[in-house]
């Protein structure tokens, strides 16, 4: 099952890359913005519950898809690209085993425990 999930996330990541290619924007923008969603981890400075909320907000597929759709509807390229980046980054994190966080610990995710055992 784990391999099947990784293949699914690789497919979603490739869809994100294809969507970015369609924008015609230079690749260096993709590279420059790709890890911006990880800034949401700063929420953990305010505690585990706030950190999990912010992390999950910026790593949820639906948020990326919603940004993309609204960006397309409003003809707003910035919002469209933000959606693509959020979606692609989330898929990449899932490939690496980083899932959405539970509020009790950064290491406790919907895909299982990551990092050192507590």
Kindly state whether residue 43 falls inside one of the protein's structural domains. yes
What average pLDDT does this structure show over 101-113? 82
Confidence of residue 40 (pLDDT cuts 50, 70, 90): very high
Which domain range does residue 13 map to?
2-106
- With 60 as the cut, is the pLDDT of residue 118 above it? no
Q: Quick: pLDDT tens for 21-30.
A: 999 999 999 9
What are the backbone dihedrals phi and psi of residue 109, each rounded to the nearest 5 degrees, phi first?
-120, 170
- Over the Cα atoms of the chain, what is R_g? 15
Q: What is the pLDDT of residue 108?
A: 78
Kindly state whether residue 68 falls inside one of the protein's structural domains. yes
What average pLDDT does this structure show over 38-46? 95
Kindly state whether residue 116 falls inside one of the protein's structural domains. no
In the numeric block, the tokens 């507590």 are attached to: 118
Kindly state whether residue 114 falls inside one of the protein's structural domains. no
Q: What is the pLDDT of residue 87?
A: 98
Q: What percent of the chain has pLDDT over 90?
A: 82
Contact 101, 55 (CB under 8 A): yes
Number of domains in the chain: 1
Kindly state whether residue 84 falls inside one of the protein's structural domains. yes
Q: What percent of the chain has pLDDT over 70?
A: 96
């Amino acid at each position: 099952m784990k391999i099947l999930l990784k293949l699914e996330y690789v497919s979603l990541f490739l869809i994100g890359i294809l969507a970015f290619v369609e924008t015609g924007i230079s690749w260096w923008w993709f590279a420059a913005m790709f890890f911006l969603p990880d800034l949401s981890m700063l929420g953990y400075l305010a505690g585990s519950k706030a950190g999990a909320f912010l992390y999950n907000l910026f790593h949820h597929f639906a948020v990326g898809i919603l940004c993309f759709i609204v960006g397309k509807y409003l003809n707003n390229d910035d919002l469209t690209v933000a959606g693509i980046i959020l979606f692609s980054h989330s898929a990449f994190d899932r490939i690496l085993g980083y899932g959405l966080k539970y509020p009790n610990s950064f290491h406790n995710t919907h895909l299982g425990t990551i990092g050192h055992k507590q």
